[in-house]
């Protein structure tokens, strides 16, 4: 809910705008006599509807950047000197000629009563959140009447013991000029005609409006003044006068309350209460405390939002990592269970191959090969297991088997057996120190000799060793330059199985 304070020369009112504006306090009399202590609010938005407000449309050369700002500031000082409440609104550029920039200057001039009112509000610790001009607010009302893009709008409403005439000239939906005058209700016809004629001459002189056709004038007034302006429509030359009831005008603007009881201050309060951006029309030193508080609140909200976002992101990351870790643990458990089942089915095969227990895929592939070729693993690997048992210094690192690749002349010979299997063993002799390579060679030759004596094995040869030495050599190879150097010696032995090797 926003609290709107309407300040006029002869009438002041306080509104609460939740769903619709509700007048909670009012004072009829001069602005200087307003009792601020009757206002029960902490923050107010001020709508200024003062006769001291002046509008000036100026043309300046088209510049950009610092030059443009310096020229605008110099023009402001030239027109309004040191007035505290000044606003500058850019209106675009001219369509012809030099295409100068159009600027609308407005200011509240020589308003001692208005300044004293702001001072009293500050003494009562009432924050002024912004000061809006009623003509500026009414600029948005023009859009409800697209058939009248250009012309003079006159709002006639009672303010205290006088009748206010707010005259605003618009072109293409933009406010170019506005002035306010006070007339008496007893002589409303004559004084209203004089004020509109004075405005017309000002528009012709400064805005250069066309004089060859009548000026469109839309008069918005309460029902009691409509007959007066209908009678005046045929008496004033150069004016195309169109009176309109304020209730009808409010209905087109979307007024939800009783349109017969609406007033211009009510429309201003409703329009200001619906605004989202609190950008003040007039800046002044009474607003600094509120602006600081607003900036602090925005900084607090931004910090809180950033902290919530960061905590949410970290929580999501931790949850995702925990889920991935849980899935990995489940996968390893499934692999372990699968290997244990395989080890129970083929215990000798799993142990003789020397595979890492976690290499499930390799073990399963080897088992599948045994099954498809109708090979008995126990009978095939029994000779190798027996030879390894006699040579504990040797460790089987890997085992591969395949059909032997014979030459054509060998295949034609009677020695070729379709059931032959060629197996490659990768053996390791651990901790071979400097000068003991000959001993390792002797152990591997002894292992090969034992394999050749096993049933079902035709030949066993060494196809790769660390050094090309034989057991009878008197040379001892050096494995390193330091006496304490140790390294594992790796040998590759190829074994050819013949009949009785376990193949059906």
Token pair of 75 as six digits: 């023009």
Mean pLDDT of 467-477: 44
- The model's pLDDT over 163-211, given as tens digits with 9 standing for 90+, comes to 999 999 988 778 889 999 999 988 888 999 999 999 999 888 888 888 8
Give the pLDDT confidence score for residue 385 in this predicted structure: 81
Confidence of residue 257 (pLDDT cuts 50, 70, 90): low
Give the pLDDT confidence score for residue 305 in this predicted structure: 84
- Say how far apart CA 100 and CA 124 lie, in whole Å: 46
Window from 72-76, 272-276, 333-337 with minimum mean pLDDT: 272-276
8-32: buried (b, 16+ CB within 10 Å) or exposed (e) per residue? bbbbbbbbbbeeebeeeeebeeebe
* Helical residues (DSSP H) of 168-276, grouped into ranges: 188-202, 226-232, 246-252, 264-273
Q: Over 60: is that where the pLDDT of 238 sits?
A: yes
Token pair of 306 as six digits: 């950033």
**Which among 434, 441, 361 is positioned nearest to 393, based on CA atoms?**
441
CA distances from 237 to 142, 159, 206, 215 (A): 25, 28, 20, 9
Contact 119, 74 (CB under 8 A): no
Mean pLDDT of 423-452: 74
Q: Over 70: is that where the pLDDT of 436 sits?
A: no
Question: What are residue 98's phi and psi, to 5 degrees?
Answer: -75, -5
- Beta pairing partners, 180: 166
Confidence of residue 124 (pLDDT cuts 50, 70, 90): confident
CA distances from 460 to 407, 447, 450, 473 (A): 19, 9, 9, 21
* Stronger pLDDT, 376 or 116, i.e. the higher one: 116
Q: Over 80: is that where the pLDDT of 302 sits?
A: yes
H helix count then E strand count, the chain: 13, 17
Confidence of residue 355 (pLDDT cuts 50, 70, 90): very low
What is the percent of the chain where pLDDT is above 90? 6
Q: Over 70: is that where the pLDDT of 158 sits?
A: yes
Give the pLDDT confidence score for residue 311 in this predicted structure: 79
Q: Over 70: is that where the pLDDT of 414 sits?
A: no
Q: Over 70: is that where the pLDDT of 71 sits?
A: yes
Give the three-class secondary structure for 51.
coil
**307 CB contacts (<8 Å, ≥6 apart)?**
none
Give the pLDDT confidence score for residue 442 in this predicted structure: 80
Mean pLDDT of 315-329: 81
- Say how far apart CA 226 and CA 242 lie, in whole Å: 10
Q: Could you give the count of Cα atoms lying within 13 Å of 68 in the half-sphere of its Cβ?
A: 12
Give the pLDDT confidence score for residue 87 in this predicted structure: 87
- The model's pLDDT over 263-292, given as tens digits with 9 standing for 90+, comes to 888 888 877 766 544 344 565 444 555 566
Give the three-class secondary structure for 282.
strand
Residue appearing with tokens 């458990």: 333
**257 CB contacts (<8 Å, ≥6 apart)?**
20, 21, 266
- The model's pLDDT over 27-63, given as tens digits with 9 standing for 90+, comes to 888 888 888 888 888 888 898 999 999 998 888 898 8
Confidence of residue 70 (pLDDT cuts 50, 70, 90): very high
Confidence of residue 500 (pLDDT cuts 50, 70, 90): low
**Which among 490, 502, 489 is positioned nearest to 457, based on CA atoms?**
502
Give the pLDDT confidence score for residue 298 in this predicted structure: 82
Pairing of strands 394-402, 421-433: antiparallel
Window from 329-333, 392-396, 415-419, 497-501 with minimum mean pLDDT: 415-419
Contact 388, 394 (CB under 8 A): yes
Give the pLDDT confidence score for residue 468 in this predicted structure: 52
- For 478, other C-beta atoms within 10 Å of its C-beta total 11
**371 CB contacts (<8 Å, ≥6 apart)?**
none
Residue appearing with tokens 């009785």: 500
* Stronger pLDDT, 20 or 387, i.e. the higher one: 387
Give the three-class secondary structure for 357.
coil
Instruction: Give me the sign of the Cα torsion angle 358, 362, 368, 373.
Output: negative
CATH 3.90.1200.10 corresponds to the domain 2-52+111-283: no
Give the pLDDT confidence score for residue 483 in this predicted structure: 33
Q: Over 80: is that where the pLDDT of 327 sits?
A: yes
Strand order in the sheet with 150-159: 174-183, 162-171, 150-159, 215-221, 239-245
CA distances from 53 to 8, 50, 57, 326, 336 (A): 11, 6, 14, 73, 88
121-140: buried (b, 16+ CB within 10 Å) or exposed (e) per residue? beeeebbbbbbbbbbbbbbe
- For 145, other C-beta atoms within 10 Å of its C-beta total 17
- The model's pLDDT over 453-464, given as tens digits with 9 standing for 90+, comes to 887 788 888 887
* Stronger pLDDT, 488 or 131, i.e. the higher one: 131
Window from 63-67, 76-80, 375-379, 469-473 with minimum mean pLDDT: 469-473
Cα dihedral 211, 216, 221, 224 in deg (nearest 10): 80
Mean pLDDT of 291-308: 79
- Say how far apart CA 487 and CA 466 lie, in whole Å: 11
What is the percent of the chain where pLDDT is above 70? 73
Give the three-class secondary structure for 392.
coil
Q: What is the DSSP letter of 205?
A: I
Give the pLDDT confidence score for residue 2 in this predicted structure: 82
């Amino acid at each position: 809910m926003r609290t709107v304070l309407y300040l006029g020369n002869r009438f002041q009112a306080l509104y609460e705008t939740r769903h619709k504006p509700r007048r909670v306090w009012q004072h009829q009399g001069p602005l200087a006599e307003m009792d601020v202590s009757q206002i029960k609010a902490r923050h107010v938005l001020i709508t200024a509807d003062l006769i001291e407000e002046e509008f000036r449309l100026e043309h300046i050369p088209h510049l950009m950047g610092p030059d443009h700002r310096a020229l605008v500031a110099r023009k402001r000082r030239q027109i309004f000197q040191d007035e505290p409440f000044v606003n500058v609104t850019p209106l675009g550029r001219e369509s012809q000629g030099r295409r100068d920039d159009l600027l609308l200057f407005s200011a509240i001039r020589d308003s001692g009563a208005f300044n004293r009112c702001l001072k009293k509000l500050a003494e009562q610790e009432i924050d002024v959140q912004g000061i809006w001009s009623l003509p500026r607010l009414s600029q948005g009302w023009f859009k409800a009447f697209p058939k009248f893009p250009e012309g003079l709008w006159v709002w006639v409403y009672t303010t205290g013991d006088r009748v206010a005439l707010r005259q605003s000239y618009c072109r293409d939906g933009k406010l170019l000029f506005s002035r306010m005058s006070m007339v008496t209700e007893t002589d409303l016809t004559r004084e209203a005609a004089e004020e509109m004629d004075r405005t017309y001459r000002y528009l012709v002189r400064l805005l250069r409006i066309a004089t060859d056709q009548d000026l469109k004038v839309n008069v918005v007034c309460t029902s009691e003044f409509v007959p007066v302006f209908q009678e005046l429509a045929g008496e004033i030359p150069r004016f195309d006068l169109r009176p309109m009831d304020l209730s009808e005008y409010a209905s087109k603007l979307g007024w939800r309350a009783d349109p017969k009881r609406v007033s211009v201050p009510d429309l201003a309060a409703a329009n200001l209460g619906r605004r989202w951006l609190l950008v003040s029309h007039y800046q002044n030193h009474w607003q600094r405390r509120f602006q600081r508080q607003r900036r602090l609140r925005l900084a607090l909200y931004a910090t809180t939002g950033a902290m919530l976002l960061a905590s949410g992101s970290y929580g999501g990351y931790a949850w995702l990592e925990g889920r991935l870790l849980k899935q990995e643990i489940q996968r390893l458990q499934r692999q372990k269970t699968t290997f244990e089942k395989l080890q129970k089915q083929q215990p000798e095969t799993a142990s003789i191959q020397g595979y890492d227990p976690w290499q499930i895929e390799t073990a399963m592939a080897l088992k599948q090969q045994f099954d498809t070729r109708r090979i008995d693993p126990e009978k095939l690997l029994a000779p190798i297991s027996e030879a390894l048992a006699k040579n504990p210094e040797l460790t089987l690192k890997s085992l591969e088997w395949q059909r032997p690749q014979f030459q054509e002349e060998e295949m034609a010979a009677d020695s070729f057996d379709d059931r032959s299997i060629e197996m490659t063993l990768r053996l390791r002799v651990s901790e071979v120190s400097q000068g003991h390579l000959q001993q390792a060679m002797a152990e591997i030759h002894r292992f090969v000799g034992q394999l050749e004596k096993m049933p079902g094995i035709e030949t066993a040869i060494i196809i790769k060793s660390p050094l090309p030495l034989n057991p009878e050599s008197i040379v001892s190879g050096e494995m390193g330059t330091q006496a304490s150097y140790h390294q594992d010696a790796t040998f590759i032995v190829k074994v050819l199985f013949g009949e009785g090797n376990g193949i059906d």
